[in-house]
Amino acid sequence: MTSRQRVQAVFNGRIPDRVPINYFANDGIDLRLKQHFGLQADDAEGLRQALGVDFRVILPPYRGPKLHPDIPARGVKVDDWGIHRRWIEHPTGGYWDYCDFPLAEAGAEAVAKWPMPSPDDYDYAAIPALCASFKGYALFLGGPGQADIINKGGMLRGTEQTLVDLITDDPVGMQLTRRRTGIQLEVLRRTLAAAAGAIDFIWMGEDLGTQIGPLISLELYRRQLRPIHQKFVDLARSHGLPVMIHSCGSSSWAYEDFIDMGISVVDTLQPEAANMAPAHLKKTFGGRLAFHGCISTAGPVATGTVAETTDYCRRTLEIMMPGGGYCFAPTHTLQDNSPTENVLAMYQVARECGTY
């Protein structure tokens, strides 16, 4: 099978020739892997090919103006949505972590005037050539940050205020949510039209769990988040495309709603979180949902030996592979504290033990 056929088989309830493979990593381990394979630091495609990755994202290039200035004096970078990030180092690397939360105390007028990218500022004419350049791979639009409400709202208003917005139906917070997701939905709509059938699935996301239980109630999800998420699902299904949704933490409590909404695939599947053990997910939802993830970035890949990593990945495959419906992927970006040899072993197991 080609990568595209392989992923399509899994997402449509058929058994592929082998499990599809995906990859995401922080900069430190990503660079070490490229060095291992003799690749240049900017050769992301070469690394995906070396690891056997079946997925490729299609992003419409943004051609608009820079909407928010960086703050060099404080080392703060500001993206086009106005999200502030500052580099925070840790013993094995670092993160561009969120800071300032510029709309935390904003009123309705400030939110209405807050600069955001216009759907007109993306280059949709570039989409056909991008799709053609990855012919044979499984192509998707979006990602974990598409249609997310709590995460991106929290980056602009702070997580606490964003949760208060949802609980109290705060008009300012909900105005921000509607503006931002409305732009995302229109960009998705135009990109799908430009791709003319070349896209294989839509990826969206919302972190709904902590490690020990739900982040919000099912009632709150149904009242505030689900109606917005449904718009993205409906758009995808109008093009005959499956939808995969990302959710970190203990999130299986929402899976029945996902199924009812028409979502086909769930991503992340952190096995250390409550009610997220691979065997439980496979037994409870197998055949009704496909799975993408399960390989913990906090488990043996980060903390164990090569042998422990190999055994862990093999056991996960033994649980998740029967009957199809599984894509091998890390639960989140691979962390810089993961030994290079462990990550290499992880992907070797996927290639050698993931065939049907």
The per-residue pLDDT string of the chain (356 residues; one tens digit each, 9 = 90 and over) reads 999 999 999 999 999 999 999 999 999 999 999 999 999 999 999 999 999 999 999 999 999 999 999 999 999 999 999 999 999 999 998 999 999 999 999 999 999 999 999 999 999 999 999 999 999 999 999 999 999 999 999 999 999 999 999 999 999 999 999 999 999 999 999 999 999 999 999 999 999 999 999 999 999 999 999 999 999 999 999 999 999 999 999 999 999 999 999 999 999 999 999 999 999 999 999 999 999 999 999 999 999 999 999 999 999 999 999 999 999 999 999 999 999 999 999 999 999 999 99
DSSP label at residue 60: P
318: number of CA atoms within 13 Å, CB side? 6
- Which pLDDT score is estimated for 139? 98
Cross-strand pairs, 214:
209
Residue 349's closest CA among 303, 323, 312? 312
- Ramachandran area for residue 78 (φ above 0: left; ψ -120 to 50: alpha; else beta): beta
pLDDT digits (tens, 9 = 90+) for 227-255: 999 999 999 999 999 999 999 999 999 99
Amino acid present at 45: E
Separation of alpha carbons 5 and 15, rounded Å: 11
> Which tokens hold the place of 305?
């030996």
Evaluate if pTM is beyond 0.95: yes
- Ramachandran area for residue 314 (φ above 0: left; ψ -120 to 50: alpha; else beta): alpha
Residue 262's closest CA among 19, 57, 11, 22? 11
Q: Let me know how many helices (H) and strands (E) the chain has, helices first.
A: 15, 10
Q: In what order do the strands lie in the sheet with 243-247?
A: 55-57, 138-142, 201-205, 243-247, 265-268, 290-295, 326-330
Collect all residues with Cβ–Cβ distance below 8 Å to 244 and sequence separation of at least 6. Answer: 11, 140, 201, 202, 203, 204, 263, 264, 265, 266, 267, 290, 292
> Which tokens hold the place of 232?
């993205």
**Domains assigned to the chain:** 3-65+105-353 (3.20.20.210)
Q: Are 263 and 245 in contact (CB under 8 A)?
A: yes
